[in-house]
Amino acid sequence: MEDRQNNAPSHEKARSLAKRLEFGPAPFIVGLVVALVFGWWIFPELLFSRQDQPVQFSHETHLKDASLDCSVCHHLRADGTFDALPSTKDCAVCHSQMLGKSEAERVFFNEYVKKGKEVDWKVYQKQPDNVFFSHAVHSLATCNNCHEFSERELCSTCHLDMASSKKPPVFRENRISGYSQNTMKMWQCEACHANPNHLGSTNASNACFVCHK
């Protein structure tokens, strides 16, 4: 009788353990799936805001229909610095009057050309203030000493390929840092600078102070 009483707690523990193991690995798997969904989809949506460009600019219209080159609007200045965004005055060379009847053209002409106001374009790949990047060093003339890039191929190596876009992609800004989701990361730069199997060795120094000031 005493043996049965002494064994009772052991049986209770065994039954309790069996209950806990009744569902097997299911709770772990469900938890893992929830964590992955939150980390890959929900958290990025919360972290990055979605913003449209002030003007729905069509690169396809300007490159294909108007037969312009990228360098007409994005080019090196005489002093070697890069003019990334054309001014409203530059655009008004062609848009001194409304061209077509699209809503984007109406907005640009009435709100910017007529008022002499600059478009507050949202830059997809603006680098942090502590990063130094020279477009002159990465120009078509320099890179084509070893490669045979077209203008579009070279630009799209680092930038979004906008040549065939009819409207700008949504601009996604990090709510914490204020930088674009498309801002280049160091490993992307190293794809050329430190990986000779990608585009060949650039013989560029990878010392921190070369790019970080």
Structural domain includes residue 110: no
pTM of the model: 0.71
Averaged pLDDT, 159-187: 90
Per-residue pLDDT at 6 exceeds 60: no
Residue 59 in marked binding region: no
Averaged pLDDT, 97-121: 94
Residue 158 in marked binding region: yes
CA distance 146 to 80: 21
Structural domain includes residue 191: yes
Residue 212 in marked binding region: yes
Residue 193 in marked binding region: yes
Domain that residue 153 falls in = 51-85+121-210
Residue 211 in marked binding region: yes
Structural domain includes residue 8: no
**pLDDT confidence band for 55 (50 / 70 / 90):** very high
Number of domains in the chain: 1
Residue 91 in marked binding region: no
Residue 11 in marked binding region: no
Averaged pLDDT, 109-122: 95
The answer for residues whose C-beta is within 8 angstroms of residue 207's C-beta and 6 or more apart is none
Residue 189 in marked binding region: yes
Structural domain includes residue 105: no
Name the residue among 67, 93, 73 with its Cα closest to residue 85: 73
Structural domain includes residue 102: no
Structural domain includes residue 75: yes
pLDDT digits (tens, 9 = 90+) for 78-99: 888 889 899 999 999 999 999 9
Residue 159 in marked binding region: yes
**pLDDT confidence band for 197 (50 / 70 / 90):** low
Please indicate whether residue 50 or residue 148 has the higher confidence score (pLDDT). 50
Averaged pLDDT, 125-142: 86
Structural domain includes residue 60: yes
Structural domain includes residue 74: yes
